[in-house]
Amino acid sequence: MHVFDYSFDMETYMTKERFAQLKEFASTKETPFLVTSLSTVARKYNELEKSMPYVRIYYAVKANPSEEVLTLLAKLGSCFDIASVYELDLVLKLGITPDRLSFGNTIKKARDIEYAYKKGVRLFASDGESDVRKIAQNAPGSGIFFRILANGTGADWPLSRKFGAQPDVIFQNILLAKDLGLKPRGISFHVGSQQHDVTQWRTALSDCKELFDAAKEKGIRLDLVNMGGGFPAHYLHPVEETYVYAAEITDYIREFFGGEFPQIFIEPGRYMVGDAGILVTEVVMISRKERESGIPWLFLDVGKFSGLIETLDESIKYPIYTERTGEANDYILAGPTCDSMDILYEKMPYRLPSSLKEGDRLYFFTTGAYTQTYSAVFFNGFPPLKAYVID
Ligand SMILES: *Cc1c(COP(=O)(O)O)cnc(C)c1O
CA 188 to ligand 1: nearest atom: 13
The confidence score (pLDDT) of residue 293 equals 77
Q: Which of 190, 234, 239 to mutate to test the pocket of ligand 1 (most atoms within 8 A of CB)?
A: 190
Q: Read off the pLDDT band of 64 (50, 70, 90).
A: very high
Residue 69 has pLDDT above 50, yes or no: yes
Cβ contact 148:164 at 8 Å: yes
Give per-residue burial for 307-334: e unless 16+ CB within 10 Å, then b.
bbbbbeeeebbbbbbeebeeebbbbbbb
**Mean pLDDT, residues 220-227 taken together:** 98
Share of the chain above pLDDT 70, in %: 98
**Mean pLDDT, residues 146-175 taken together:** 94
**Mean pLDDT, residues 187-193 taken together:** 97
Cβ 62 under 6 angstroms from ligand 1: yes
d(CA 207, CA 146): 12
99 torsion bin: left (phi>0), alpha (psi -120 to 50), beta (else): alpha
Q: Which of 61, 81, 103 to mutate to test the pocket of ligand 1 (most atoms within 8 A of CB)?
A: 81
**Of 32, 2, 1, 8, which is closest to residue 319 (Cα–Cα)?**
8
Cβ 232 under 6 angstroms from ligand 1: no
pLDDT tens, residue by residue, 32-45: 999 999 999 999 99
Residue 296 has pLDDT above 50, yes or no: yes
pTM of the model: 0.96
**Mean pLDDT, residues 149-157 taken together:** 92
Q: Read off the pLDDT band of 183 (50, 70, 90).
A: very high
- CA-proximal residue: ligand 1, atom 10 (nearest): 229
Give me the sign of the Cα torsion angle 70, 73, 75, 80. negative
CA 268 to ligand 1: nearest atom: 9
**Mean pLDDT, residues 1-15 taken together:** 69
Task: Tell me how far apart the terminal alpha carbons of the chain are, to the nearest angstrom.
Answer: 40
Q: Read off the pLDDT band of 303 (50, 70, 90).
A: very high
Residue 316 has pLDDT above 80, yes or no: yes
- CA-proximal residue: ligand 1, atom 5 (nearest): 229
The confidence score (pLDDT) of residue 4 equals 52
Residue 23 has pLDDT above 90, yes or no: yes
The confidence score (pLDDT) of residue 12 equals 86
Ligand 1 centroid to 193 CA: how many Å? 7
Residue 325 has pLDDT above 90, yes or no: no
Cβ 147 under 6 angstroms from ligand 1: no
**Mean pLDDT, residues 371-390 taken together:** 96
Share of the chain above pLDDT 90, in %: 91
Residue 113 has pLDDT above 60, yes or no: yes
Cβ 368 under 6 angstroms from ligand 1: no
Residue 108 has pLDDT above 50, yes or no: yes
Cβ contact 320:6 at 8 Å: yes
Residue 2 has pLDDT above 80, yes or no: no
Residue 335 has pLDDT above 60, yes or no: yes
Cβ 262 under 6 angstroms from ligand 1: no
Residue 3 has pLDDT above 60, yes or no: no
- How much is the mean pLDDT over the chain? 95
Exposed/middle/buried for 214, CB within 10 Å: 0-12, 13-18, 19+? middle
Please give the domain boundaries of the chain with CATH numbers for all domains: 4-35+276-390 (2.40.37.10), 39-273 (3.20.20.10)
Q: Read off the pLDDT band of 6 (50, 70, 90).
A: low
CA 271 to ligand 1: nearest atom: 9
Give the phi and the psi of residue 236 in degrees, each rounded to 5. -65, -40
pLDDT tens, residue by residue, 123-145: 999 999 999 999 999 999 999 99
